[in-house]
Amino acid sequence: MNTLVEFGIVLIQFLQTMSPALDGPMHVISFMGTTEFYLILIPLLYWTVSKRLGIRVLLILVSTDF
C-alpha cells in the first residue's frame, strides 16, 4: 500500500510540473460542468442536431437536479 501512495505522490508532482501545458484543456473540462455550458449546449442540440435530442438532454439535466 505504501508503494501505491508513493506512486500517487510522484504522479501528482509530475502533473503539477506540466501545469502550463494542461491549463487550457483543464479549463475546457471545467467549463463543461458549468451552467453556461449547458445554456449553450442545449439550444445548439435543439436547433442543429434534433429537437428530440435537445429536449431529452434538457429533461435529463432537469431531472438530475443540476
**pLDDT, position 66:** 60
**pLDDT, position 19:** 78
**pLDDT, position 65:** 74
Q: Is the pTM of this model over 0.75?
A: no
Neighbouring CB atoms inside 10 A of 20's CB total: 7
Residue 52, in any domain of the structure: yes
**21 burial type by CB count under 10 A (0-12 exposed, 13-18 middle, 19+ buried):** exposed
Domain of residue 65: give its range: 23-66
Over the chain (66 residues), what is each successive 10-residue block's mean pLDDT?
Answer: 89 86 88 92 94 94 82
Residue 40, in any domain of the structure: yes
Distance CA 63, CA 66 (A): 8
Q: How many domains does the chain have?
A: 1
Residue 2, in any domain of the structure: no
Q: Are 38 and 61 in contact (CB under 8 A)?
A: yes
Q: Are 43 and 51 in contact (CB under 8 A)?
A: no
